[in-house]
Amino acid sequence: MKLTFTRNLLLALTLGSTVASAALYEVDQAHSNVGFKVKHMMISNVSGSFGDFAGSFDLADGTLNALKGTIKTTSIDTDNQDRDKHLRSADFFDADNHPTITFELTKQEGTKVYGNLSIKGITKPVVLALESGGEMKDPWGNIRTAFTLEGEINRKDFGLAWNKALETGGVVVGETVKLTIDIQGIRQ
């Protein structure tokens, strides 16, 4: 009887410490960035970002147990209004019919994050490299943590297939999109 009680107490303490170390964070949009880079005319890169996004994540002992994010496609910004209008059109994001991009974590293994990325109603698995920025208490008493996710996707896999051939060979827009997502979260 005493052995059962002791075992149950140890189990409860172990589970309690695991639960206590888990924390839910909301993404701080003001201190986060969802950016990308893609080849233009095969010789240079065009960089851009999305200004309207939200997300949350569950972090326990340095491991992401959950991560969900949503990006509004109308918020794309490449510092060129004509290009941004084209990117919002049916040739690319078709923002009128597909107003959001979503990401949901499936697992973290070491410095790799696995998840499902959905663009234009097409969901594909992606792998992103994770770099932790650490955790700290800000001057207002909030606990903050930060990390960076980096990776590449092929835009054609998500129905972003528009392109134009160049007279000299090659195309206007490269297929590979490099993603850099800097996240800062505030513990809830």
Q: What is the mean pLDDT of residues 2-21?
A: 39
Which among 90, 56, 93, 89 has a CA at the least distance from the CA of 73?
93
- State both tokens at 85: 């209008």
pLDDT digits 0-9 by tens, 107-156: 999 999 999 999 999 999 999 999 999 999 999 999 999 999 999 999 99
pLDDT at 71: 98
Domains of the chain and any CATH numbers: 22-187 (2.40.128.110)
pLDDT at 82: 96
DSSP state string for 51-68: S-EEEEEEEETTEEEEEE
pLDDT at 9: 35
Q: What is the mean pLDDT of residues 78-86?
A: 96
If you search the block for the tokens 């303490």, which residue do you land on?
Answer: 13
pLDDT at 1: 44
pLDDT at 152: 98
CB–CB of 91/98 below 8 Å? Answer: no
pLDDT digits 0-9 by tens, 148-178: 999 999 999 999 999 888 888 888 899 999 9
Pairing of β 76-77 and β 44-50: antiparallel
- The H or E element spanning position 86 is helix 81-88
Residue 23 scores a pLDDT above 70: yes
**Burial letters 13-49, b for 16+ CB under 10 A, else e:** eeeeeeeeeebebebbeeebebebbbbbeeeeebebb
Q: What is the mean pLDDT of residues 18-27?
A: 74
pLDDT digits 0-9 by tens, 32-41: 999 999 989 8
pTM of the predicted protein model: 0.85
Q: What size, in residues, is the chain?
A: 188
pLDDT at 21: 58
- The H or E element spanning position 178 is strand 173-187
